[in-house]
Amino acid sequence: MPFRSGFVSIVGRPNAGKSTLLNALIGEKIAIVTRKPQTTRNRIRGVLEVPANKGKHPAAQIVFVDTPGVHKPSNLLDKRMLQEVYEALDTRDIVLHVVDASRSLRLPEESASFLPSLVADEVADETEAAPQREKRPPSLHLNNEDAFVLDLIRKLDCPVFLLLNKIDAIAKDQLLPLMAQLSMEHNYAAILPISARKKDGLDTLVAKLVAHLPEGQRYYPKEQFTDQPERFLVAELIREKILQFTGEEVPYASAVVIERFEEPAAPAPKRPNAKIAQKLPLTRIAAAIHCERDGQKAILIGKGGAMLKQIGAASRMEIEKLLGTRVYLELFIKVAEDWRSSRSFLDSLDWQKQLEDLGNRQKE
């Protein structure tokens, strides 16, 4: 049977477990996961090689695309996050709509968008290439993120799978009514209960995805499992610790920029989870944590520097696992007032855009 390949975009409201699912499918930590909503800020690709299953399906390469959770934007960063979702929905073969089955859904009686058309237009204005969106009347259901996701997927002409996630956290008799309720909302190509955390139901999911994928060649080399540069992964691991250890507004007002990344001269094992021995070479990394106000800076530093030390120690351990070297990590805090509304600052965080710009400059 001919090889199959394609892009599978993962969408849903914040905290549905999209990034946990991506990591579980790929078997590597390529997206950060926390209990706080709005953890993911960028599209993140994870590449899965699927061997042929005799008589059932051919071999395939699936490129999964994790996206930020859909939420009502209140600044330019939020709008960029929503733009990432739009872009992932524009370039895909299949979409996975992930719903947290452990929280009750409040679906409105009729289809609704929580975003007035105005917001969609503003988002589109941000990038020239953004597709024209049809105008929608402002909706009454301004806070219903699930309804907005439904609104987006109803416009798609590709198969959409509904994934009821976190089934490890609910009683079995709750599942059927939820499936029945949601199956009326959209003509899903498949409805699958899963637990991303326990890796439950994922084999069935992958087999069904391969069955729906078109014939095609690999998009990525066989051994590559993500498109993210190492520097970005490192910045994300630091941000994960900020999200874990700080509260209130601080996690949302923080951005991490790697300012120095000195790889060791000697070659080091590149695979994540490699054993860390004392003899291993040393990577020197300096990272700036940007926040928006002096008060947030004080929280990030903590009493006698305790918070910064905790963030540094926890992220260093994870970075060592990722790089397979020892790591000397230097962290410092900078205040960049209102960076979440600064176009140029957000551009400087966007590694995909930076790579594209570099490519365009080289072509000229």
Residues that bind Mg ion (CB under 5 A): 18-19, 39-40
Tokens in use for 214?
């078109």
**Which range, of 7-15, 147-155, 219-227, 298-306, touches ligand GTP by CB under 6 A?**
7-15
Applying CB under 6 A, does 254 fall inside the site for ligand GTP?
Answer: no
Binding partner at 108 among Mg ion, ligand GTP, none, C-beta below 5 to 8 Å by kind: none
46 or 324, CB closer to Mg ion? 46
For the bound state, the minimum distance from the C-beta of residue 244 to ligand GTP, rounded and expressed in Å, comes to 10
2 or 27, CB closer to ligand GTP? 27
Applying CB under 6 A, does 251 fall inside the site for ligand GTP?
Answer: no
Binding partner at 326 among ligand GTP, Mg ion, none, C-beta below 5 to 8 Å by kind: none
Site for ligand GTP in 32-51 (CB under 6 A): 33-35, 37-40
Site for ligand GTP in 217-236 (CB under 6 A): none
For the bound state, the minimum distance from the C-beta of residue 15 to Mg ion, rounded and expressed in Å, comes to 8
**Which range, of 11-19, 45-53, 135-143, 224-232, touches ligand GTP by CB under 6 A?**
11-19
Site for ligand GTP in 155-194 (CB under 6 A): 165-166, 168-169
Query: Which residues pair with residue 164 across a beta bridge?
Result: 99, 193
For the bound state, the minimum distance from the C-beta of residue 75 to ligand GTP, rounded and expressed in Å, comes to 16
Provide Rg for the chain, Cα atoms: 21
CA dihedral 140, 143, 147, 153 (to 10 degrees): 110
Distances (CA, A) of 147 to 102, 112, 218, 281, 308: 17, 6, 35, 51, 39
Distances (CA, A) of 42 to 78, 83, 107, 137: 11, 9, 27, 28
For the bound state, the minimum distance from the C-beta of residue 38 to ligand GTP, rounded and expressed in Å, comes to 5
Site for ligand GTP in 189-208 (CB under 6 A): 195-197
17 or 159, CB closer to ligand GTP? 17
- Which ranges of the chain would DSSP assign to H, the alpha helix? 18-26, 76-90, 117-126, 145-154, 172-183, 202-212, 230-245, 294-301, 306-323, 343-349, 351-363
Applying CB under 6 A, does 19 fall inside the site for ligand GTP?
Answer: yes
How far is residue 325's CA from residue 283's CA, in Å, rounded to a whole number?
Answer: 6
Candidates 4, 18, 80, 241; binder of ligand GTP (CB under 6 A) is 18
How far is residue 307's CA from residue 281's CA, in Å, rounded to a whole number?
Answer: 27
Report yes or no: 52 and 59 within 8 Å, Cβ to Cβ: yes
The one-letter amino acid code at 64 reads F
31 or 62, CB closer to ligand GTP? 31
Task: Supply the DSSP string of 83-147, one letter for each residue.
Answer: HHHHHHHHS-SEEEEEEETTS-----SS---SS-HHHHHHHHHHSTTPPP----PPPS-TT-HHH
Binding partner at 46 among ligand GTP, Mg ion, none, C-beta below 5 to 8 Å by kind: none
Report yes or no: 112 and 144 within 8 Å, Cβ to Cβ: yes
18 or 79, CB closer to ligand GTP? 18
Q: Which residues bind ligand GTP (CB under 6 A)?
A: 12, 14-20, 33-35, 37-40, 68-69, 165-166, 168-169, 195-197
